[in-house]
Chain A
Amino acid sequence: MSADVAGAVGRTGDSSDRPAGGGPPQTASPREREPGGTPRRGLTRILGAQPHGLLFSAPYIVFVILVFAWPIVFAVWMSFQDYFFAAPGADVDRPFVGFDNYITVINDPRVWQSFRNVGVFLIINVPLTVVLSIILATALDRIVHARTFFRVSYYLPYVTASVAVVAVWLFLFSQNGLVNQILGPLAPSPSWLINSALAMPTIALFVTWKGLGFYILLYLAALQNVPRELYESVSMDGGGRIRQFFTVTVPGVRPATLLVVLLSTITGANLFTEPYLLTGGGGPNGASASPVLLIYQRGIEQGNPDVAAAIGVILIIFVLIIAALQRRFVGGEES
């Protein structure tokens, strides 16, 4: 991934038609020419050949600082304080409390439960996503007819609002819903979404279904980079389709697999809408509560943003650790 980015940056640098120092006047814009002489050359060294690039990007840079950089700092800072909501402009004392909020979080069994729930979710969602999307992408890559139809139908859940498709799943998986009607005597009791053992797996299945189209498209792009000769050489050696799949396709798309694993893990850690709506706020009895749902409940419903920020920081640390492990585990075999 990073190699791609570096390559792109390198390209722009190489193809530059201007020297790094002061640009010749004919390539500089009129606005730059105005100051003229040595001062401009000095400024150029500090700001670059076309300093209005900074002006063009300024709104975006301000936006990123305001909406991403500062809130992250604020979150970490808040998690070490006794922070509470106050009327705008009110001058209140919010003392530094060290790790108090973290201790509250660690002693909260609901937090542990929500992290276990996400664990269950990831164990089901990530492998299922990888296996199904690689199979469907490979199949899609081999056919000639109706490709567009299949591509569009796989991608449809991904472009539809979660809230809309959640409504259908509620209907399908309700007590007397179609799924239970078809299963007949095999239907689980209590039903899917109110069964503490099945609620989280059902949510994992839902999220897999909803996001699969996106990952299929990622794999489809990766498959274009697998050299066709490799398939031929396997079939020359007498290997069939299955053998080709495991010896050429699977290793060939490993970078994409790493990306799919990482992205589906991050998405899984962000789980909120599904437990909030499908299982009525993480029910039954917290069996499908996710950390983000808990952040919402603790921080906004119960008015403890400091504790909620601490849960957020812990969650990010967990995600980073899992991502690092996945990188080693999935990506490390490459060389």
Chain B
Amino acid sequence: MRRILGSKITLYIVLSLGALAFLFPFYYMVIGSLQTNVDPTPAGAFPNPENLTFANYVAINERINLLQGLANSGIFAGGVVLGTIVFGVLAGYALAVLHWRGRGATFALALLVQVVPFQLLMIPLYVMIARDYGLSDTYIGMILPFFINSTAVVLFRQYFLQLPKDLFSAARIDGAGEFRILWSVALPLVRPALLTAVLLTFIGPWNEFLWPFLITKEASMQPLAVSLANFITNIAASTANPFGAMMAGAVVLAIPAVTLFIIFQRYFTSNDLGSGVKG
């Protein structure tokens, strides 16, 4: 009995140490963003609440426009979500429910695309989108390479596969067209699952750095991840409290994705993630 209790306690100690290692940097980020002068000593991690201010948020907002950055990130991620919902759902439905030539090949393509590393695509995409099409510093140029998320297409297909086949036959007998069946029969049934895919799709471009960094040079077009990175590499050194301002920017960038994740965390199950990357 004591041995079982002992091993249970060990488990919780191991897990708690892990949680501490994962959560502490986030705590430190928030604390650092609220201190007027950085105090890197261990005592600085537990400051007097009376000394906390929002001065760093004001300071970084004077150098990079946080609101504009948030809006750009939102448009970028929103465009990807829109493209994925409209065209990804259509493709997922066709792959799961309809019988047509090329279905197998298209599904194989959707799986293959997920293992194509971006480093191979980055130069040709830059040449095409920025140089040939002249789409640098535009939202279209930013969104284009991410427009339809292939992981989401595979997830949508999986959701539609789980619906009973008779449902579709019945709707067809009643004379409904495929588009109508998708819209008023299939979609309402997979709505909760749809939400998971949408969240996964949103967080990707929200956090994306490399591509928007390549394609946007104008500060007014940059998503927050890019303008914060510029702040870290070029501007921070010239501010009164560089680390404090960096932490403030980091908090603003992290909050939307983290909040969405915590609200909808029960939908982020291992099954969905597994199916997204399997294959």
* Interface positions of A (Cβ within 8 A of B): 1-2, 4-5, 8-9, 11-12, 15-18, 26-31, 46-54, 56-57, 59-61, 63-64, 67-68, 70-72, 74-75, 78, 83, 85-86, 88, 135-136, 139-140, 142-143, 146, 148-157, 159-172, 174, 176-178, 181-182, 209, 212-214, 217-218, 220-221, 241, 259, 263, 266, 269-270, 272-273, 276-277, 280-281, 291-292, 295-296, 299-300, 305, 308-309, 312-313, 315-316, 319
Distance between Cα atoms of A329 and B20 in the complex (Å)? 34
Check: B203 CB closer than 8 A to any chain A CB.
Answer: yes
Binary A-proximity of B91-132 (CB < 8 A = 1, otherwise 0): 101111011111110110111010111111111111110011
Among B117, B133, B175, B271, which residue has the most Cβ atoms of chain A within 10 A? B117
Nearest A residue to B262 by beta-carbon distance?
Answer: A152
Whether A53 pairs with B165 at a CB distance below 8 angstroms is: no
User: Of B47-55, B189-197, B250-258, which binds chain A?
Assistant: B250-258
Whether A136 pairs with B257 at a CB distance below 8 angstroms is: no
Check: B270 CB closer than 8 A to any chain A CB.
Answer: yes
Known: A48-B103, A67-B145, A159-B257. A300 touches B214 (CB 8 A): yes
Q: Which residues of the other chain, A, contact B133 by a CB distance below 8 angstroms?
A: 88
Whether A54 pairs with B101 at a CB distance below 8 angstroms is: yes
Q: Which residues of the other chain, B, contact A309 by a CB distance below 8 angstroms?
A: 123-124
Check: B235 CB closer than 8 A to any chain A CB.
Answer: no
A92 CB to nearest B CB, Å: 12
Whether B25 pairs with A168 at a CB distance below 8 angstroms is: yes
Q: Which residues of the other chain, B, contact A1 by a CB distance below 8 angstroms?
A: 278-279
Whether A217 pairs with B273 at a CB distance below 8 angstroms is: yes
Whether A68 pairs with B121 at a CB distance below 8 angstroms is: yes
Distance between Cα atoms of A263 and B169 in the complex (Å)? 40
Q: Which residues of the other chain, A, contact B131 by a CB distance below 8 angstroms?
A: 85-86, 88
Among B25, B38, B254, B265, which residue has the most Cβ atoms of chain A within 10 A? B25
Whether B28 pairs with A171 at a CB distance below 8 angstroms is: yes
Chain B residue total in the interface (Cβ 8 A): 111
Distance between Cα atoms of A12 and B98 in the complex (Å)? 10
Known: A74-B128, A277-B232. A181 touches B119 (CB 8 A): no
Q: Which residues of the other chain, A, contact B246 by a CB distance below 8 angstroms?
A: 167, 170-171
Q: Which residues of the other chain, B, contact A161 by a CB distance below 8 angstroms?
A: 206-207, 209, 225, 253-254, 257
**What are 7 pairs between A and B in contact, CB < 8 Å?**
A60-B91, A71-B121, A71-B128, A177-B40, A212-B22, A266-B117, A312-B119
Known: A50-B99, A159-B257, A176-B40. A305 touches B123 (CB 8 A): yes
Check: B63 CB closer than 8 A to any chain A CB.
Answer: no
Among A67, A142, A270, which residue has the most Cβ atoms of chain B within 10 A? A67
Known: A163-B250, A174-B40. A57 touches B277 (CB 8 A): no
Q: Which residues of the other chain, A, contact B120 by a CB distance below 8 angstroms?
A: 71-72, 75, 312-313, 315-316
Q: Which residues of the other chain, A, contact B118 by a CB distance below 8 angstroms?
A: 270
Q: Which residues of the other chain, A, contact B119 by a CB distance below 8 angstroms?
A: 269-270, 272, 291-292, 295, 312, 315-316
Distance between Cα atoms of A21 and B258 in the complex (Å)? 50
Q: Which of B1-21 contact A (CB under 8 A)?
A: 7-8, 11-12, 14-15, 18-19, 21
* Interface positions of B (Cβ within 8 A of A): 7-8, 11-12, 14-15, 18-19, 21-23, 25-26, 28-29, 32, 38, 40-42, 44-45, 87-88, 90-91, 93-96, 98-104, 106-107, 109-111, 113, 115-128, 131-134, 144-145, 147-148, 150, 153, 158, 161, 165-166, 169, 172-173, 175, 177-178, 203, 206-207, 209-210, 214, 225-226, 228-229, 232-233, 243, 246-247, 249-251, 253-254, 257-258, 261-262, 265-266, 268, 270-271, 273-274, 277-279
Q: Which residues of the other chain, A, contact B102 by a CB distance below 8 angstroms?
A: 48, 54, 57
Main secondary structure of the interface of A (DSSP, over half): helix
Among B14, B120, B121, B268, which residue has the most Cβ atoms of chain A within 10 A? B120
Whether B210 pairs with A273 at a CB distance below 8 angstroms is: yes
Distance between Cα atoms of A218 and B177 in the complex (Å)? 39
Whether A5 pairs with B111 at a CB distance below 8 angstroms is: yes
Whether B247 pairs with A168 at a CB distance below 8 angstroms is: yes
Q: Which residues of the other chain, B, contact A83 by a CB distance below 8 angstroms?
A: 127
Distance between Cα atoms of A171 and B251 in the complex (Å)? 14
Distance between Cα atoms of A153 and B277 in the complex (Å)? 22
Q: Which residues of the other chain, B, contact A136 by a CB distance below 8 angstroms?
A: 14-15, 18
Known: A153-B22, A160-B258. A172 touches B28 (CB 8 A): yes
Nearest B residue to A169 by beta-carbon distance?
Answer: B25
Q: Which residues of the other chain, A, contact B249 by a CB distance below 8 angstroms?
A: 164, 167
Whether B90 pairs with A60 at a CB distance below 8 angstroms is: yes
Q: Which residues of the other chain, A, contact B158 by a CB distance below 8 angstroms?
A: 8
Whether A135 pairs with B177 at a CB distance below 8 angstroms is: no
Nearest A residue to B177 by beta-carbon distance?
Answer: A29
Which of A154, A165, A266, A315 meets B18, CB within 8 Å? A154
Q: Which residues of the other chain, B, contact A63 by a CB distance below 8 angstroms?
A: 87, 147-148
Whether B15 pairs with A139 at a CB distance below 8 angstroms is: yes
